[in-house]
Amino acid sequence: MVTKEEALRYLSEVAPERCFWVNNGPVLKKLEDLANFLPNMSEETFKHHVSRDKNDFSSWINDIVGDKNLANELLSSKSKDSIAKKLQKRLTILRNKTKIVV
């Protein structure tokens, strides 16, 4: 169970030096940025960040954003669709906890 404070932290922008730099793409500052960019991300860019051996999104969420639950959920995901669905589900939970409406 996530606390309101944790949810607020997970939804916040990270420090500029801790942003996620997408290969051939934008700089992501928060989970919402990833959720918005992911559906339009090219397969080539996606495969650069997610492969059989790594998942850069999961690592960033674990190490920088701090949402260990979401990071673990994404670790086994190897498709854009799967990651997008899990990310949207988690964002809904976090927003509901904080009462943030987008």
pLDDT in tens, the chain (102 residues): 899 999 999 999 999 999 999 998 799 999 999 999 999 999 999 999 999 999 999 999 999 999 999 999 999 899 999 999 999 999 999 999 998 655
CB contact set of 44 (below 8 Å; sequence gap of 6+): 24
**28 has which bridge partners?**
20
What is the maximum alpha-carbon separation in the chain?
Answer: 37
Residue 38 CA to residue 71 CA, distance in Å, equals 16
- Sorted by where each begins, the domain ranges of the chain are 4-97
